[in-house]
Amino acid sequence: MTLPSTSLCGREFERILLIKLSAMGDVVQTMPVLNKLRRRYPAARLDWLTTPPFAEFLRQNHKISNVLEFARDEWRQPWRLGPLADAARLAAKLRDLRYDLVLDLQGQFRSAVFARATAAAVRIGFARPHPRAWRASSRNLPEEARKHAWQGAREASWLAYTHPIKLPTLDLHAVDRYLGVVPMLGLDEDPADFSFPISPTARERIEALLQRHGIAASTKLLVMAPGANWETKRWHNEGFAAVARHFLQRRYGVALIGAPSERALCAQIARRAPGSMNLAGETTLSELAALIRRAALCVTNDSGPTHLAVALDRSVISIFGPTDPVWAGPYHRADAVVRAELACAPCYLRRLSRCRHAHACMQEISPRAVIEQVEKLLADNTVMLATST
């Protein structure tokens, strides 16, 4: 029989599985839940199920007992028997580990399959979408946003959970959605703690990489992430190049970062801003974290590096177009967002071919607007530093 949520607060769970498969920003934004779980259950086995790109990063974290991997990319080829056999073996392993608490913060069919496979008595995940969550919002959002944005557990994944996270409104940042488990489990209500370790090896590797590019330890560094998983989230190349040229003239080092698949994109920007370093594909996720920690400021689209910068308490400017800063912006950093106020945004469309407005939400953001916001943030940080000393 399913226990009421109120009864979970006093339970001493001993074997816990946290499921967050991807993407970079989502994994980073789950850190406050991980840290609260570890404080609440200091002696528990606390495992994390993720995908291979994030396993190396998570294995550096001593608060995680074990990292389990799901080869999601292979799952996309259902005509092959190998991925199905691997998924079946993983499901069997999860059941054998006898978890008594599972938190699925991915909320998709594949994550729910693994949550259910554990046979844990308590399986927590997001509730199914419900119209009242929209009605609780006072904002007048475009119809496309209501149609395509996150609304709750997807693909009937809610059927796998014994205890749903019921959100009073959709006007919540992703971090606060994840923290919906706090009252259910009686976790501490302290502010979100994003802390995670960066190994000395990763820091040393980054310093060596920068030195090879002629960047001294005393040189201020601007990190720029021009890529994004969605076409519609990407600001134009000339915009990033203009920002890079401005700060190169101010004698900053400028590092362009991204996945290996974004190396060509970064190369195009580097050609327009000679002196920029194209580091896309040259770092692990742990090393990327070390690079961002080394930076004075980051300029990004709505992408994973935005949330990595926030978690590392670095200054960040994030350029928003089709997505909503209320839901996905830099956490508690309203001054870090640059966007064009348009009636069609946010739309949550992923492909440019579906946009009927010539990508105006990103095209109308000028390099000057971004540079001014960066300069203002840097000036504010200088004043704060001088005041604190």
Tell me whether strands 221-225 and 101-104 are parallel, antiparallel or unpaired.
Answer: unpaired
CATH code of 200-388, in short, is 3.40.50.2000
Which strand (E) or helix (H) includes residue 33? helix 31-40
For the record, the structure tokens of 196 come out as: 């995670």
- Nearest-5° angle of CA 158, CA 162, CA 167? 60
Q: What is the per-residue pLDDT for 134?
A: 77
**Sheet of strand 297-301, all strands in order from the earlier edge strand to the far edge:** 277-278, 253-256, 221-225, 297-301, 315-320, 337-339
Each of the 389 residues of the chain gets a pLDDT tens digit; together they read 455 555 899 999 999 999 999 999 999 999 999 999 999 999 999 999 999 999 999 999 999 999 999 986 655 665 566 678 889 999 999 999 999 999 999 999 999 999 999 999 999 999 999 877 777 888 889 999 988 999 999 999 999 999 999 988 889 999 999 999 999 999 999 999 999 999 999 999 999 999 999 999 999 999 999 999 999 999 999 999 999 999 999 999 999 999 999 999 999 999 999 999 999 999 999 999 999 999 999 999 999 999 999 999 999 999 999 999 999 999 999 899 999 999 999 999 999 999 999 999 999 999 999 999 999 999 987 755 455 55
Whether the full predicted model's pTM is greater than 0.85, yes or no, is yes
Q: Do domains 5-185 and 200-388 have the same CATH topology?
A: yes
Q: What is the per-residue pLDDT for 73?
A: 64
d(CA 157, CA 103): 12
Q: What is the per-residue pLDDT for 133?
A: 76
Considering only the C-alpha atoms of the chain, give the largest distance between any 2 of them, rounded to a whole number of Å: 66
Where exactly are the structural domains of the chain?
Answer: 5-185, 200-388
Superfamily in which the 5-185 domain is placed by CATH: Glycogen Phosphorylase B; (3.40.50.2000)
Q: What is the per-residue pLDDT for 1?
A: 41
